[in-house]
């Protein structure tokens, strides 16, 4: 176990470093100058900016230094928790990001819980009743879920609720601590929208993983010794079939964080996604950089944890 | 089961080689449709998309970009679907049906463009990564890992932020967004083909690496290329729609299915449900078509891949 854990952790650091290099490189080969963007106040209109002003600001921001020095100092700051100052709001990025980060994470966790709770039973039924009507129904359901664009589904949900129940998602936002009921009310629909897309995929994985396990010898043994089917499926098959589902959920979480952006903008949730879109519109690359690095760090850490827990749950992995 | 699969492989291989008689393509299509009705449905959807895109000027009732002026100089804003406007009109008074028909061109252009560049390019990179030895592979795989950690949509959004919104920039961004999943899939496929006996045999009789790759590995990865290209067409279309929906894809006057939904999301859906339903339906049907076709192609061409998650990272 020790060796396996060590090997996984040794891979984690360079991957995260490569991610920061990619993010940094992307935003500093931007055509156009961040200093100019600040002085010109967002977009266009660079005519009124004098070249001395520009030089001064470039010096202040450290843009006149070689790229690798800029990268090193940026990385140093990030490691100390300083994500820089927003080009648009002119305030520290972290102060904007902190609350929004929590909102997005809450939304994503809610969505993945909803998805797994629905997808696993669906996948099990589909596998146990393979090639019956029930199986086809659940497979058609998941094909639809995969092709259904998140943003369209979100719009349809809003429409259906508004038309048939005359209910509109509550405006304004409350945190989980201030008003848990309102918070859950607000986040339930966005989470459901996200979960539907995810559910389809997780159900597929559960199904194929269950089908594989069902062919194993130890299941035949379990049946042969007279266990009822429920115990065979529930205790012996499920335990092993859920391992791939766990791995996939890690990557699903990354996917979900992509969908969050769209869903947040439909349901006006004040999370990282709406901030991301804002920062793109204002060409606020410091905020954008911070969000991308933060997401990469979260996803990589989560995958590391999943891989490590995998080593605990499935002893076979350790000896490979 | 196994015998059946082998028979499928045995039947498909001669079809693509020399001895196929003149009517064979049609026979093959009919056989495919009989065995994979869902795949055939996907194929029909794709065909319909291509025809719509090609014939757009002939079949669209109005100019997709032009605001309509009716006889009394009235602008038909949010007119419900009817004989005059089949799918109604949008928030500024343009014909939705025409915009959807022309939108097929945008979707297909972005889809084909990014797949031809992206899947082809990253396919070669994946091959090199699997073949160029452990050092290149290690570096390439760290880059892939790092990119896998960021959702595809966020990568593409970030690149759009840098490039600015235009049709061709959307393609560039989507191509970069495809890097990690395509390289990863191809690499693992090449790694397994590399261990096949015929490759070992070719090397044993002294074939050089270049010859082994070009003559033995590439032809055996052709099916995977075709399957990936099909899935990623759907992927590219949904990404373009997402970008345009969020307002950072194609410019607003370009008729993009995703862009048409932006107004619907801003609360207009209750006023004019048709403006939010039809464009979304178009995206849904087309993406479903590509996915169904991809599933069927996978089952027929590469039965070994069944259950493999080729379309896994279709990030939104």
Q: What is the DSSP string of A41-70?
A: TSSS--TT--HHHHHHHHHHHTTTS-HHHH
Chain A residues whose beta carbon lies within 8 Å of the beta carbon of residue B151 = 254-259, 295
Maximum pairwise Cα distance, chain B: 82
Strand partners, A85: A92
Least CB–CB distance from A265: residue in B152, B241, B246: B246
Buried b / exposed e across A264-284, counting CB within 10 Å, b at 16+? bbbbbbebbbbbbbbbbebbb
* CB-based contact B151 A296, cutoff 8 Å: no
Residues 278-307 of B with CB under 8 A from A: 280, 283-284, 287-288, 291-292, 307
Rg (CA), chain B: 23
Decide which of B115 and B16 is more confident. Answer: B115
**A&B contacts, CB < 8 Å:** 164
- Band (pLDDT 50/70/90 cuts) for residue B46 is very high
- Alpha-carbon distance B316 to B308, whole Å? 20
**Residues present in chain B in total:** 316
**Nearest residue on chain A to B283, judged by CA atoms?**
A149
Least CB–CB distance from A159: residue in B159, B276, B311: B276
Which whole number is the average pLDDT over A77-81?
A: 84
Please say if the pLDDT value at position A46 is more than 70: no
Task: Return mean pLDDT, chain A.
Answer: 81
Please say if the pLDDT value at position B309 is more than 60: no
Q: What is the pLDDT of residue B311?
A: 44
Looking up tokens 């099990």, which residue turns up? A124
- Band (pLDDT 50/70/90 cuts) for residue B43 is very high
Residue A280 is encoded by which pair of tokens? Answer: 């793109």
Q: What is the pLDDT of residue B6?
A: 46
Torsion of CA A101, A275, A149, B117, to 10 degrees: -110
Distance in Å, alpha carbon of A54 to nearest chain B alpha carbon: 21
* CB-based contact A18 B153, cutoff 8 Å: no
Distance in Å, alpha carbon of A32 to nearest chain B alpha carbon: 9
Decide which of B18 and A21 is more confident. Answer: A21
Q: What is the pLDDT of residue A172?
A: 63
Chain A residues whose beta carbon lies within 8 Å of the beta carbon of residue B157 = 261, 276-277, 280
Q: B37-59 and B24-35 helices cross at what angle (nearest 10)?
A: 120
Q: Which one of A136, A152, A260 makes the best mutation probe of the B interface by having the most chain B beta carbons within 10 Å? A: A152
Chain B residues whose beta carbon lies within 8 Å of the beta carbon of residue A266 = 265
Whole-angstrom CA distances from A69 to A21, A73, A272, A284, B281 are 12, 6, 29, 21, 50
Least CB–CB distance from A149: residue in B151, B241, B264: B241
B248 in contact with A at a CB cutoff of 8 Å? yes
- Alpha-carbon distance B140 to B126, whole Å? 9
* CB-based contact A156 B277, cutoff 8 Å: yes
pLDDT in tens, B208-237: 888 888 888 888 888 888 889 998 999 899
**Which residues, 6 or more positions from B309, have their beta carbon under 8 angstroms from its beta carbon?**
A205, A248
% of chain A beyond a pLDDT of 70 = 91
- Band (pLDDT 50/70/90 cuts) for residue B99 is very high
- Alpha-carbon distance A110 to A194, whole Å? 9
Least CB–CB distance from B158: residue in A19, A251, A288: A288
- Alpha-carbon distance A211 to A208, whole Å? 5
Strand partners, B89: B95
HEC profile of B115-160: HHHHHHHHHHHHHHHHHCCHHHHHHHHHHHHHHHCCCHHHHHHHHH
Task: Classify burial at B158, counting beta carbons within 10 Å of its beta carbon; exposed 0-12, middle 13-18, buried 19 or more.
Answer: buried
Q: Which one of A139, A158, A258, A262 makes the best mutation probe of the B interface by having the most chain B beta carbons within 10 Å? A: A258
Distance in Å, alpha carbon of A142 to nearest chain B alpha carbon: 11
Residue A306 is encoded by which pair of tokens? Answer: 């999943």
pLDDT in tens, A257-271: 888 888 888 888 888
* CB-based contact B264 A155, cutoff 8 Å: yes
Residue B204 is encoded by which pair of tokens? Answer: 């044993």
Decide which of A50 and B146 is more confident. Answer: B146
* CB-based contact A277 B246, cutoff 8 Å: yes
* CB-based contact B161 A280, cutoff 8 Å: yes
Query: What pTM was estimated for this model as a whole?
Result: 0.84
Q: What is the pLDDT of residue B283?
A: 94
Q: Which of B41-45, B147-151, B212-216, B307-311 has the highest mean pLDDT?
A: B41-45
pLDDT in tens, A100-131: 999 899 999 999 999 889 888 888 888 888 77
Give the three-state DSSP class for B39: helix
- Alpha-carbon distance B272 to A138, whole Å? 32
Whole-angstrom CA distances from B170 to A42, B54, B153, B165, B177 are 22, 21, 12, 7, 10
- Band (pLDDT 50/70/90 cuts) for residue A317 is low
**Nearest residue on chain B to A29, judged by CA atoms?**
B162
Whole-angstrom CA distances from A249 to A219, A245, B170 are 25, 6, 29
Least CB–CB distance from B154: residue in A151, A265, A292: A292
Please say if the pLDDT value at position B310 is more than 60: no
Q: How many CB atoms lie within 10 A of CB A64?
A: 12
Please say if the pLDDT value at position B8 is more than 50: no
- Alpha-carbon distance A312 to A317, whole Å? 9
Chain A residues whose beta carbon lies within 8 Å of the beta carbon of residue B316 = 149-151, 197, 255, 258-259, 262
Decide which of A297 and B92 is more confident. Answer: A297
Give the three-state DSSP class for A85: strand
**Nearest residue on chain B to A28, judged by CA atoms?**
B162
Least CB–CB distance from B151: residue in A258, A266, A285: A258
Would you say A86 and A286 are in contact if contact means Cβ atoms under 8 Å apart? yes
> Which ranges in chain B belong to alpha helices (H)?
2-16, 24-35, 37-59, 96-114, 120-131, 134-148, 152-163, 167-194, 197-204, 209-211, 218-246, 257-260, 262-265, 273-301
Q: What is the pLDDT of residue B9?
A: 45
Chain A residues whose beta carbon lies within 8 Å of the beta carbon of residue B265 = 151, 154-155, 265-266
* CB-based contact A18 B142, cutoff 8 Å: yes
Strand partners, B95: B89
Please say if the pLDDT value at position B168 is more than 70: yes
- CB-facing half-sphere around the CA of A203: CA atoms within 13 A: 29
Q: What is the DSSP string of B50-87?
A: HHHHHHHHHH-SS-SSSPP--TTS---TTPPSSSSSTT
Chain B residues whose beta carbon lies within 8 Å of the beta carbon of residue A155 = 261, 264-265, 269, 276, 280
* CB-based contact A279 B161, cutoff 8 Å: yes
Residue A165 is encoded by which pair of tokens? Answer: 């129940």
User: What ipTM was estimated for this complex?
Assistant: 0.83
Please say if the pLDDT value at position B114 is more than 80: yes
Would you say B130 and B187 are in contact if contact means Cβ atoms under 8 Å apart? yes
């Amino acid at each position: 176990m020790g060796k396996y854990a060590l090997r996984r952790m040794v891979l984690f650091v360079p991957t995260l470093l490569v991610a920061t290099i990619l993010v940094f490189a992307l935003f500093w080969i931007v055509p156009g100058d961040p200093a100019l963007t600040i002085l010109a106040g967002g977009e266009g209109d660079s005519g009124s900016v004098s070249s001395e002003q520009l030089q001064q600001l470039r010096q202040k921001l450290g843009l006149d230094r070689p790229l690798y020095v800029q990268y090193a100092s940026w990385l140093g700051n990030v490691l100390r928790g300083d994500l820089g100052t927003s080009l648009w709001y002119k305030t520290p990025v972290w102060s904007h990001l902190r609350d929004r980060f929590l909102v997005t994470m809450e939304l994503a966790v809610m969505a993945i819980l909803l998805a797994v709770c629905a997808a696993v039973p669906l996948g099990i039924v589909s596998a146990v009743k393979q090639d019956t009507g029930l199986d086809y129904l659940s497979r058609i359901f998941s094909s639809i879920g995969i092709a259904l664009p998140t943003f369209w589904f979100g719009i349809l949900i809003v429409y259906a609720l508004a038309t048939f129940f005359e209910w509109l998602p509550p405006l304004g936002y409350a945190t989980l601590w201030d008003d848990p009921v309102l918070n859950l009310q607000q986040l339930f629909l966005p989470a459901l929208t996200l979960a539907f897309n995810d559910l389809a995929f997780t159900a597929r994985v559960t199904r194929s993983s269950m089908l594989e396990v069902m062919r194993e010898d130890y299941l035949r043994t379990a049946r042969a010794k007279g266990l009822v089917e429920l115990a065979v499926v529930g205790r012996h098959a499920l335990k092993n079939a859920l391992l791939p589902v766990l791995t996939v959920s890690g990557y699903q979480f990354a996917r979900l964080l992509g969908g969050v952006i769209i869903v947040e903008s439909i349901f006006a949730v004040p999370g990282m996604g709406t901030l991301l879109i804002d920062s793109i519109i204002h060409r606020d690359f410091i905020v954008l950089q911070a969000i991308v690095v933060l997401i990469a760090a979260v996803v990589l850490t989560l995958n590391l944890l999943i891989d490590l827990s995998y080593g605990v749950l499935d002893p076979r992995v350790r000896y490979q | 089961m196994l015998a059946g699969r082998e028979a499928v492989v045995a039947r498909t291989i001669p079809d693509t080689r020399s001895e196929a008689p003149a009517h064979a393509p049609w026979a093959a299509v009919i056989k495919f449709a009989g065995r994979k009705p869902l795949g055939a449905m996907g194929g029909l959807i794709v065909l319909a998309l291509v025809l719509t895109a090609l014939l757009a000027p002939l079949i669209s009732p109005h100019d997709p970009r032009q605001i309509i002026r009716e006889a009394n100089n009235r602008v038909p804003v949010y007119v419900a679907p009817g004989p005059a406007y089949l799918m109604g009109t949008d928030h500024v008074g343009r014909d939705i049906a025409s915009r959807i028909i022309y939108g097929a061109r945008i979707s297909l252009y972005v889809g084909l463009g990014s797949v031809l560049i992206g899947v082809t390019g990253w396919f070669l990179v994946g091959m090199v990564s699997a073949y160029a030895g452990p050092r290149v592979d290690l570096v390439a795989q760290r880059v892939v890992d790092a990119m896998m950690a960021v959702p595809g949509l966020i990568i593409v959004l970030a690149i759009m932020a840098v490039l600015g919104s235009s049709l061709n920039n959307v393609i560039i961004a989507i191509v970069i967004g495809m890097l990690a999943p395509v390289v990863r899939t191809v690499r693992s496929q090449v790694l397994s083909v590399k261990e096949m006996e015929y490759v070992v045999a070719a090397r044993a009789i002294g074939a050089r690496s270049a010859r082994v790759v070009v003559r033995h590995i590439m032809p055996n990865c052709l099916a995977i290329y075709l399957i990936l290209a099909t899935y990623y067409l759907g992927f590219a279309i949904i990404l373009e729609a997402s970008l345009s929906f969020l307002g950072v894809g194609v410019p607003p006057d370009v008729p993009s299915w995703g862009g048409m939904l932006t107004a619907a999301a801003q609360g207009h859906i209750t006023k004019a449900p048709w403006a939010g339903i039809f464009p979304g339906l178009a995206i849904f049907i087309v993406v479903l078509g590509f996915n169904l076709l991809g599933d069927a192609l996978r089952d027929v061409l590469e039965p070994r891949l069944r259950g493999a998650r080729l379309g896994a990272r279709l990030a939104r």
